[in-house]
Amino acid sequence: MPDPVSSIPNLGPASEAAFARAGIRSAGEIRAMGADAAYLALMRSGTPPHFIGYYVLVMGLQGRPWNDCKGEEKKALRSRFDALKAEALATPALSGLPRALDEALDLIGVRPARK
C-alpha cells in the first residue's frame, strides 16, 4: 500500500482529503510532483490558496517543522506562492472565482462596496 499523504510531516487528515480531491492519493505522488506542482493541483481542484498551507507542504517535504520557515527563505517562498496562485487563477474554470466572490460579498454587505 502506498504511503499516505499524512505521512509527510506537518500534513494531517484535512490535507489528505484535499489532496484526494485533487486526485493525489499518496505521499510518493506528492514527492514525485514536488511542492509547487502538488500545490497547484490543490488550487486547481478548488482548494483556496493559502500561503501557510503552501509553505507547510514545502517544509514537510524537506522533513522540517512548518514553523521553521523564516526570513529570506519565507520571502522567496512567498514569491513562488504568488506565482502559483496567479497561474491557478489563470485556469479558465477558476478565473472568475475571485471576482464573483468579491461581488457576492459586496452584495450582502459583508464589506464596504468598492468604488
pTM higher than 0.85: no
Interval 20-43: pLDDT, tens: 999 999 999 999 999 999 999 999
Give CA 32 to chain center in angstroms.
Answer: 17
For the four alpha carbons of 6, 59, 62 and 82, in that order, the dihedral sign comes to positive
DSSP SS3 for 61: helix
Question: pLDDT category, 113, cuts 50, 70, 90?
Answer: low
Phi and psi at residue 36, to the nearest 5°: -65, -50
Question: If you classify domain 5-108 with CATH, what class do you get?
Answer: mainly alpha
